[in-house]
């Protein structure tokens, strides 16, 4: 199974993105908890595309490819926005007093925690390419 | 997003349903902040019908908690779906809220 779909880079697309990814993930023998993890990671990744890669621009399309691999489920997101490397975002400080808690980096942190692989590449032609993988079983 | 508010003697319950993500988290935040503006700082967020919560939603709740605590109030959470609860624990954010399995317990905590 390999499916690709384009979405418009607006926050209102998040529900549709979730439906698409969920539908694909359920065909890959992931447990309910694993499907939720994929939903969350993809939601955070798409929100970053819209809020960072496409910041201060008119909404542009981005693309999601879901693929069933022998050992799990892969999601690849492609956009042509500003280069945005999630690896450049430091881990948020958690387990600190409430008043010291800051929002920066939590989305990326969740992606890393929810998925087994999170890889990023920037190509001048392809743009930002984010690959995430969730192992089945376990 | 449909947000319902129910006042009790010692707290107010806010209930929303479906997904909370970047597209609608501000709306939830505005509803909760409105309670604060009206001097209400003891709030139960009833999550019975919340099926998905992105980090944008958590930050709204954290912001509200940051406003409530200095005023002697508190935001507590009720009836969180297991998947959401697991992700909350994973990032260690469950320690910032009292969490109740059901709405009755949450309301009764005030």
Flag whether pLDDT at A73 surpasses 80: yes
Tell me the C-alpha to C-alpha distance, in Å, between residue A32 and each of A29, A47, B49: 9, 23, 17
Residues composing chain B: 110
The terminus-to-terminus CA distance of chain A in angstroms comes to 21
pLDDT category at A95 given cuts 50, 70, 90 is: confident
Q: What is the pLDDT of residue A100?
A: 87
pLDDT category at B1 given cuts 50, 70, 90 is: confident
Flag whether pLDDT at A60 surpasses 70: yes
The strand pairing partners of A75, in sequence order, are: A66, A132
B25: closest chain A residue by CA:
A11
Query: In the predicted model, what is the mean pLDDT of residues B83-109?
Result: 91
Q: What is the pLDDT of residue A11?
A: 93
Query: In the predicted model, what is the mean pLDDT of residues B87-93?
Result: 83
Between helix A106-114 and helix A32-48 the angle, nearest 10°, is 150
Which residues from chain A sit within 8 angstroms of residue B86, using beta carbons? 33, 36
pLDDT digits (tens, 9 = 90+) for B26-68: 999 999 999 999 999 999 999 999 999 999 999 999 999 999 9
Q: Please list, in sequence order, all residues whose beta carbon lies within 8 angstroms of the beta carbon of residue B98, skipping any fewer than 6 positions away.
A: B74, B76, B77, B106, B109
Flag whether pLDDT at A103 surpasses 80: no
Chain B contact present for A14, CB below 8 A: yes
- Burial status of residue A30 (CB atoms within 10 A of its CB: 0-12, 13-18, 19 or more): buried
CB-closest option in B65, B82, B87 to A40? B87
Q: Under an 8 A CB cutoff, do B56 and A40 touch?
A: no
Q: What is the pLDDT of residue A138?
A: 61
Q: Which of A4-18, A102-116, B9-23, B62-76 has the lowest mean pLDDT?
A: A102-116
Which of A17, A110, A115 to mutate to probe the B interface, most B CBs <10 Å? A110
Q: Under an 8 A CB cutoff, do A36 and B83 touch?
A: yes
């Amino acid at each position: 199974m390999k499916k690709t779909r384009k979405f418009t880079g607006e926050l209102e697309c998040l529900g549709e993105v979730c439906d698409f990814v969920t539908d694909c993930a359920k065909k890959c023998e992931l447990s309910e908890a694993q499907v939720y993890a994929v939903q969350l990671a993809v939601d955070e990744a798409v929100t970053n595309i819209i809020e960072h890669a496409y910041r201060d621009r008119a909404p542009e399309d981005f693309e999601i490819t879901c693929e069933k691999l022998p050992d799990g489920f892969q999601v690849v997101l492609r956009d042509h926005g500003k280069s945005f490397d999630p690896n450049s975002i430091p881990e948020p400080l958690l387990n600190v007093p409430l008043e010291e808690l800051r929002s920066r980096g939590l989305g990326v942190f969740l992606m890393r925690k929810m998925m087994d692989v999170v890889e990023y590449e920037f190509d001048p032609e392809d743009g930002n390419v984010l690959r995430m993988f969730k192992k089945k079983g376990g | 997003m449909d947000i319902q508010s129910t006042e009790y003697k010692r707290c107010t319950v806010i209930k929303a349903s479906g997904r909370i993500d970047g597209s609608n988290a501000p709306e939830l935040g505005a509803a909760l902040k409105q309670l604060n503006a009206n001097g209400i700082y003891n709030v139960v967020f009833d999550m019975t019908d919340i099926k998905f919560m992105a980090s944008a939603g958590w930050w709204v709740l954290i912001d509200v908690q940051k406003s409530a605590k200095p005023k002697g109030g508190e935001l507590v959470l009720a009836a969180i779906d297991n998947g959401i609860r697991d992700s909350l624990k994973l990032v260690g954010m469950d320690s910032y809220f009292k969490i109740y399995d059901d709405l009755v317990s949450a309301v009764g905590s005030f």
